[in-house]
Structure 1
Amino acid sequence: MSAEETAPPVTAFLLIKTMPEWLAMTPEERVHAFGTEVMSVVKARTTGVRSRFYDTEFYSTRVTDVWVWEADDHEAYQLLIDALRETPFWDRYFEVVDLLVGTENGYARTYNVDPVATVST
C-alpha cells in the first residue's frame, strides 16, 4: 500500500475540565501523578499515538484543557481511550466534557479534491 493509499490518522480532541482532586494537588504532585498513573498506562497499553496538551482555563470555565491525540488508526485510538478510562485521569482528575474525533481533510479524500487550507506567508 502506498503512502497515498494508507488510512489517514485519527485525530481526537478531548475537551476536559479539571476536577477538585486534581486541583488539590501541588504542581509537583500533579506532574508525578500524570506520569506514573496516566501516561505510564497509556505507554504500556498503546502504540501509534501522539499527543499535545492545550491550557484553555484562561478563556473558558466549561473546558479547562484540550488534549489532542493523533492515532495511526481507529484501533490505536480505541486502545488509547480504553487505557485512559482505566486510570484516575478519567472522571477522577478530569471530567471528559466532550470527544471530537475526525480525520484531517476527509472531505478532500471523499470528493477527490484538493484540501482547503491557508498558507502562512
Structure 2
Amino acid sequence: MTASVKEPVLTVFMLVKTTPEWLAFSVDERFRLLREHVEPILKTHADEVSMRFYDVEFYSARVTDIWVWDATSHHAYELVVEALRETPFWDRFFEVVEILPGVENAFARNYNREALSAS
C-alpha cells in the first residue's frame, strides 16, 4: 500500500495499540476492514502521503504497531488524519498512543552540512 511520495518534508511516527475489538476479528475480516476503510484514504492521498506498517507487539506492551507516514506537506498529512478520524480505525480498532512528527536530517540541513550516513 505504499505509494512513491515525492521528497517528504514530514515523517510522522504514529504509535498505536490494537483494541480487543480489533483482535476479536478474524484475519480475513481485518484485511477486509483495512481495504474498506484505510485503502481508500491511502489511494486518495497517494501523490502526497505514503504509509508503512511496523509490528512491534513482539517487543512492546505499550504499543503494538507503528504507522510511519511520509508527507510532502503538513497539510497533506493533516488531511489523511482527518479522514482516518472518520473511520473506526481511530481510537476504536486502534488506540492512538502517541504521534511523533519529525523532519529527516533537519539538523544537518539547518546548518548546511551533509547528513551522517552509514553507507
Same fold (TM over 0.5): yes
Alpha-carbon contact 1:41-1:87 (below 8 Å) kept: no
Aligned to 1:76: 76
Equivalent runs, 1:1-121 vs 2, <5 Å: 8-44=8-44, 46=45, 47-119=47-119
Q: Which runs of 5+ in 1 are unaligned?
A: 1-6
User: Does the Cα contact within 8 Å between 2:42 and 2:50 map onto a contact in 1?
Assistant: no
Q: Is the 8 A contact 2:8 2:71 kept in 1?
A: no
Task: Return closer, same or farther for 1:8/1:31 CA change in 2, 3 Å cut-off.
Answer: closer
SS in 1 for 2:77: helix
Root mean square deviation, CA, Å: 1.7
Deviant stretches of 4+, over 2 Å: 41-44
| Percent identical residues | 52
Deviation by residue 1:17-57 (Cα, 9 ceiling, x = unmatched): 0001100000000000011022223433x341111111001
Query: What is the TM-score with the length of structure 2 in the denominator?
Result: 0.87
After superposition, give the CA deviation of every residue in 1:53-80 in whole Å (9 maximum; x if it has no partner).
1100111111100111101111111111
Computing the radius of gyration from Cα coordinates, the structure with the larger value is 1
